Amino acid sequence: MTRLVTLIGYPLKHSVSAVFQQAAFSECGLDLKYENWETPEAELAGAVDRLRGVSIAGANVTIPCKEKIVPLLDELSDTAQRISAVNTVVNRDGRLMGFNTDVEGFVSSLLHDAGYRLRNRKVVLLGAGGVARAVMFALLNQEVTWVTVFNRSVDRGRALVRAFTRSAGRIPLTALPWEDLETSVALKDCDLLVNCTSIGMRYSSTEGETPLVADLIPKDALVYDLVYNPEETPFLREAKKAGAETLGGLSMLIHQGAASFELWTGRKAPLDIMFRSAREALARGA
């Protein structure tokens, strides 16, 4: 029997997960099919119930459902529990297990595709949603120097900081209003600038936009945009104008997807196939 793996979130028009995961399943000779289930928050509970069916192997979870899905699952990995966000679900005989592979994807992408180690780095995060929670967890585990979060809702940014204050130990965490970016000393001094928002994402309401223009981007920082569609976002173009090193979100997408693949299948993911098929899809304007 062919089993399904699904992607839960909304909207999904920008996603290439189905393309590269299906290519990986085929490469490994697995009888699995990947489907997109567009799921607004109001329909999440129903989608989760469907995941319990015998024909479902598991799911990926994306915006805006990564945090909302947590209380609907039967069990969480230690990492997912500590982050309070899930991006991967495994169906084990009707019990739904939640994992977060974004942490591994973030660290692996920096190391393998940029040769970049996080220890002792000064970091600015743009955004405070589910992916920002995973990134924050990764940063603290890698012993960065400090983290400053900017979010349009400063209360949500502060909530993110509060959630990780205890595990941060002596690592200073700060949340500031988005409006303070233009005058921020933290932005000027950071080593790593990470966009955890969806600003600039293809088919979104902010398509073609950038969270920062070149004049505000520190040229000595690595600028990492977790948006992957388009592969070169407006933010990355502005960062290049500023003279900064850049890394696009496709790297994290594939590395977290590879970790998800291994949870569903118990097989090593074919990274080269995943990267190639995703890039081909993006080049076609997926």
Topology of the domain covering 103-250:
Rossmann fold (3.40.50)
pLDDT digits (tens, 9 = 90+) for 77-94: 999 999 999 999 999 999
Residue 286 is predicted with a pLDDT of 67
Residue 1 is predicted with a pLDDT of 84
pLDDT mean across residues, the chain: 97
Q: Is a pLDDT exceeding 70 seen at residue 165?
A: yes
Residue 222 is predicted with a pLDDT of 98
Distance CA 240, CA 231 (A): 14
pLDDT digits (tens, 9 = 90+) for 206-238: 999 999 999 999 999 999 999 999 999 999 999
pTM: 0.94
Tokens of 215: 């004049």
Task: State the first-to-last Cα distance of the chain, in angstroms, to the nearest integer.
Answer: 29
Q: How confident is the model at residue 54 (pLDDT cuts 50, 70, 90)?
A: very high
Exactly one of 66, 68, 219, 240 is catalytic; name it. 66
Topology of the domain covering 3-101+253-283:
Rossmann fold (3.40.50)
Residue 138 is predicted with a pLDDT of 97
Distance CA 166, CA 230 (A): 37
Q: How large is the average pLDDT for residues 41-63? A: 96
pLDDT digits (tens, 9 = 90+) for 233-255: 999 999 999 999 999 999 999 99
Q: Can 66 be counted among the known catalytic residues?
A: yes
Q: Is a pLDDT exceeding 70 seen at residue 278?
A: yes
CA distances from 206 to 100, 202, 226, 252 (A): 26, 8, 15, 21
Q: How large is the average pLDDT for residues 156-173? A: 97
Q: Is a pLDDT exceeding 80 seen at residue 273?
A: yes
pLDDT digits (tens, 9 = 90+) for 88-147: 999 999 999 999 999 999 999 999 999 999 999 999 999 999 999 999 999 999 999 999
Domain with CATH 3.40.50.720 in the chain: 103-250
Residue 211 is predicted with a pLDDT of 98
The secondary structure of 189-243 as a DSSP string is H-SEEEE-S-TB-TTSTTBT--SS-GGGS-TTSEEEE---SSSS-HHHHHHHHHT
Distance CA 124, CA 188 (A): 10
Distance CA 222, CA 259 (A): 24
Domain with CATH 3.40.50.10860 in the chain: 3-101+253-283
